[in-house]
Amino acid sequence: MGEVRTTTGEALPATTREKRIRLRRNLIVSFLVLTAMILVGFQIRLNRYVTAAGYVTTEEYAEVRPSTTGIVTEICVSSGTKVEKGDLLVQLDAAEEKSMVEESRRQVVKLEAEIARRETEISEQKRLLAEGIATARLRLEYASSRLARTKELLAKGLVAGSALEDEQLKEDLARAELTSLLNRNQDIYVKELLVLRRNLEAQQEAVIRAETRIRTKEVRAPVSGVVLRYEFVLGELVRPESVLMEIFGGSQQVLKVRVPERSAARVQLGASYKARLTPFGGLKRIWFRGKVEALRDVIQSEGQTSYRVVYCSFAPGHYTVPPGTTAEVEINWGRVNFWVFLLGLE
């Protein structure tokens, strides 16, 4: 083999054995570094979040919708008005219902008068019947007495036999008259009044039903609070699915969040969240934080979107956050290691 010589003091080239040793050393170092990185990656835990949209509301909140279809004839409040529970907010056209109430009430008055008149007439008829029975009893007693005296006189030969027949006939007629009066059916009066009273009850129920229909044309505040009115006008036809207003009440604010259905099962009570509100955007990020306080048990749909409503605690701190402020929300649903997060294996 030849020898390598240098005249400029350069290092001699590595031998084959030295190259192998260096390669082995580099491989070992690379393996150790890679192993350390993998182990560290398993130790690093990262939070996982469900992204959702929401808005700030109050602890007492209600969407105001009409209970029936109707035309708006009066709008009683505007946005910013403070109302109490039960206050009239919107009046729908109830002309037909009011007409039905008036007609039913007229029928009630008419039937009440008819019942009073018939009760008076029946009372008079009963009085006349009682007097007739008493008179018929007296006639029968008188006829029976005359018949008895005629029999005595006939036995003594003081009257003719025809006189006895006349008195017997009078006694029979008096008895028949009394029997007829006593057998007269008075239940017919009771049945007649019963029919009239049932008709009266039916008309009274018709009044109640018509008054109930009138109340369905009144849109009243379900809770106390401040009104946020939606855009609708007099003469507009509204339906039960139409949201006319929102009412924000109570002293505490909450964050109402719509979690997409695909992520709904991951959100649990007590989970922490962070949210960015639309008015506080920009370069400086302001995060509002809280916890999930309540979950609705049903999945709701709106158009092509399905979601679950989640209510979260909300503390605005020194910021003024009006109800209705929209927010981008990230709800923490757990922690995973770096590699699971990186590879998307959760």
pLDDT tens digits, residue range 317-332?
888 888 888 999 999 8
Q: CB 326: neighbour CB atoms within 10 A?
A: 14
Q: Which residues of the chain have pLDDT under 70?
A: 1-12, 38-47, 282-283, 335-346
**Can you give the pLDDT at residue 5?**
55
Domain chopping of the chain, boundaries: 47-93+222-343, 96-216
Tell me how far apart the alpha carbons of residues 174 and 78 are, in angstroms, rounded to a whole number: 85
C-alpha separations of 29 from 16, 21, 25 in Å:
20, 12, 6
Whole-prediction pTM: 0.55
Question: 43 Cβ partners below 8 Å, 6+ apart?
Answer: 337
**Can you give the pLDDT at residue 184?**
84
Residues present in the chain in total: 346
**Cα 223 → chain centroid:** 13
**Can you give the pLDDT at residue 1?**
46
Phi-psi region at 270: left, alpha or beta (left = phi > 0; alpha = psi -120 to 50): left
- Architecture of the domain whose range is 47-93+222-343: Beta Barrel (2.40)
146 — phi, psi (to 5°)? -65, -35
Helix, strand, or coil (residue 165): helix
183-226 tens-digit pLDDT: 888 788 888 899 999 999 999 999 999 999 999 999 999 999 98
